[in-house]
């Protein structure tokens, strides 16, 4: 497959370029896009008009539309990424195996990324800049609804790169679905797939490739109100976790309330209802809440699927539990291993929860909405992963880095050492690295 082979060749060169060269390429792309703002926005208008005449959803059109402000934010993003520390060749281990025989562990790019996204054309600059900064080649596939915007940006990026030391094939933009299907089979040349879009997109891709996929199909996050929760804090954290951005993967979908926390439970559910959230309650909760605040149109009985549902809107499933152990068990079984929260003033229960939950993020007295690369201080976010291998949770530049072991010797051979035929012993002296 020509595209992936060219990407691999570009990756092999990109890996050897200096931080200055990579930053210069980002600046070149930035300048070229800035100088052609009108042309790009005009192309985007065509896409938006065509989307409207095809009756695409309002939400999609909003994501598709490249406003002047979004454009400027995208440009600034290119400069921000250039300003990040060089992620390549960071030494994370230095060990003297024996006199004159040294082992190093160095960060290096993963290689070739295939990034698949929907609608939002500014992702090209976002992901493209992260790829170049980290020395990875990227093949970018946008949705067909953004074809005009995409084509113009593609020409400009490719033209900008051709004047730098970064190979033009480092960023290739493709538009057809058939090409993606082919590329998903190229596990010899493509090292990682990053889908940015709906749950369906991610699931479809995971099913159709053996290449590692960075992403999360589900975001079923849970908050647990412990017996020892401060009622006001519980209400505040749960309302933020649910309503700050209900479409986010880090919004909670389930609330567990300890049976001995009636005050915190009542206050929290009332606050959710005040914020327009529909409550799908199990029977004990239903009983207790109706007793406490009376019937309400927002209060409904949970069905069997409620606790495995990602609502992504102002709705939440609520269940009563006996203790922190039951909460942990419920979350490990029904959650999607994304981010889960305990509200409690009891340190022992908090520690049980923090260590017992098998999720990318486990929070004590803080909103689930902090699960985000920028809020973690990563400077950039590649995505959020519920994989347990490689990158987990919010993923910054680190997530598209691999590592290599380098040995520098002066002629040493294994046969001289114990275990391989010789008598010499390794010394294993670690060199302290200052961070």
Among residue numbers 223 through 252, which ones bind its own copies (CB under 8 A)?
230, 233, 236-237, 239-241, 244-245
Our CB check for its own copies shows the closer of 49 and 358 to be 358
Q: Is 181 in the site for its own copies (CB under 8 A)?
A: no
For its own copies, the binding residues in 283-342 under the rule CB under 8 A are: 328-329, 332
Minimum CB–partner distance for residue 88 and its own copies (Å) = 9
Phi-psi region of 151 (alpha: psi -120 to 50; beta: other; left: phi over 0): alpha
Determine the Cα–Cα distance for residues 88 and 345; give it in Å rounded to an integer. Answer: 43
Encoded one letter per residue, x for contact with its own copies by CB under 8 A and - for no contact, window 182-201 reads ---------xx---------
Q: Is 423 in the site for its own copies (CB under 8 A)?
A: no
Determine the Cα–Cα distance for residues 302 and 97; give it in Å rounded to an integer. Answer: 61
Minimum CB–partner distance for residue 423 and its own copies (Å) = 15
User: What is each CA distance from 401 to 47, 136, 323, 398, 404, in whole angstroms?
Assistant: 34, 8, 41, 5, 10
Q: Is 417 in the site for its own copies (CB under 8 A)?
A: yes
Closest CA to 177 of 159, 204, 157, 152: 204
- CB-CB neighbours of 276 under 10 Å: 11
Minimum CB–partner distance for residue 83 and its own copies (Å) = 15
Our CB check for its own copies shows the closer of 295 and 389 to be 389
Q: Quick one: which segment of 64-72, 124-132, 207-215, 290-298 binds its own copies (CB under 8 A)?
A: 207-215
Q: Is 110 in the site for its own copies (CB under 8 A)?
A: yes
**Non-local CB neighbours of 214 within 8 Å, separated by 6+ positions:** 192, 193, 194, 382, 383, 385, 387, 390, 391, 395, 399
Q: Is 72 in the site for its own copies (CB under 8 A)?
A: no
Q: Is 359 in the site for its own copies (CB under 8 A)?
A: yes
Task: Tell me the two tokens of residue 229.
Answer: 């929760």
Determine the Cα–Cα distance for residues 383 and 130; give it in Å rounded to an integer. Answer: 12
Output the CA torsion 56→58→62→67 (10° steps). 90
Our CB check for its own copies shows the closer of 35 and 416 to be 416
The residue from 1, 12, 36, 182 that contacts its own copies (CB under 8 A) is 12
Minimum CB–partner distance for residue 216 and its own copies (Å) = 14
Q: Is 432 in the site for its own copies (CB under 8 A)?
A: yes
Minimum CB–partner distance for residue 303 and its own copies (Å) = 22
Minimum CB–partner distance for residue 21 and its own copies (Å) = 13
Q: Is 107 in the site for its own copies (CB under 8 A)?
A: no
Task: Tell me the two tokens of residue 87.
Answer: 């992620």
Q: Which residues of 182-202 are buried (b: 16+ CB within 10 A; e: fewer)?
A: ebbebeebbbbbbbbbebebb
**Packing angle between helix 37-53 and helix 68-83, nearest 10 degrees?**
130
Our CB check for its own copies shows the closer of 180 and 223 to be 223
Closest CA to 324 of 266, 263, 268, 257: 257
Our CB check for its own copies shows the closer of 59 and 407 to be 407
């Amino acid at each position: 497959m020509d595209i992936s082979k060219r990407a691999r060749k570009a990756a092999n060169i990109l890996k050897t370029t200096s931080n200055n060269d990579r930053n210069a390429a980002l600046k070149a792309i930035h300048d070229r896009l800035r100088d052609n703002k009108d042309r790009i926005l005009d192309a985007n208008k065509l896409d938006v008009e065509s989307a409207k005449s095809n009756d695409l959803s309002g939400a999609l059109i909003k994501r598709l539309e490249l406003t002047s402000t979004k454009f400027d934010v995208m440009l600034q993003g290119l400069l921000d990424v250039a300003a990040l520390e060089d992620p390549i060749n960071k030494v994370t281990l230095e060990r003297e195996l024996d006199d004159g025989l040294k082992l190093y562990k160095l960060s290096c790019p993963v290689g070739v990324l295939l990034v698949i996204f929907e609608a939002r054309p500014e992702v090209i600059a976002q992901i493209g800049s992260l790829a170049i900064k980290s020395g990875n080649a990227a093949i970018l596939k946008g949705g067909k609804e953004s074809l005009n915007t995409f084509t113009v940006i593609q020409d400009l990026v490719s033209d900008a790169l051709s004047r730098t030391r970064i190979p033009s094939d480092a960023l290739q933009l493709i538009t057809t679905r058939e090409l993606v299907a082919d590329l998903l089979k190229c596990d010899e040349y493509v090292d990682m797939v990053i889908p940015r879009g709906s749950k369906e997109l991610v699931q479809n891709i995971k099913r159709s490739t053996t290449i590692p996929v960075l992403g999360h199909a589900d975001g079923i996050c849970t908050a647990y109100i412990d017996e020892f929760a401060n009622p006001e804090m519980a209400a505040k954290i749960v309302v933020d976790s649910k309503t700050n951005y209900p479409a986010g993967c880090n919004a909670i979908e389930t609330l567990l309330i300890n049976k001995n926390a009636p005050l915190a439970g009542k206050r929290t559910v009332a606050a959710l209802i005040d914020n327009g959230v529909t409550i799908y309650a199990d029977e004990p909760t239903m009983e207790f809440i109706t007793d406490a605040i009376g019937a309400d149109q927002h209060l409904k009985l949970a069905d069997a699927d409620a606790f495995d549902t990602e609502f992504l809107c102002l709705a939440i499933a609520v269940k009563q539990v006996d203790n922190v152990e039951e909460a942990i068990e419920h979350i490990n079984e029904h959650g999607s291993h994304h981010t889960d929260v305990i509200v409690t003033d009891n340190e022992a229960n908090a520690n049980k929860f923090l260590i017992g939950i098998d999720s990318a993020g486990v929070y004590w007295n803080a909103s689930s909405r902090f699960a985000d690369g920028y809020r973690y201080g990563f400077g950039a976010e590649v995505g959020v992963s519920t994989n347990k291998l490689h990158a987990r949770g919010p993923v910054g530049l680190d997530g598209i880095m691999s590592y290599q072991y380098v040995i520098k010797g002066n002629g040493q051979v294994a046969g001289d050492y114990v275990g391989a035929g010789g008598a010499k012993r390794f010394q294993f002296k670690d060199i302290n690295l200052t961070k």
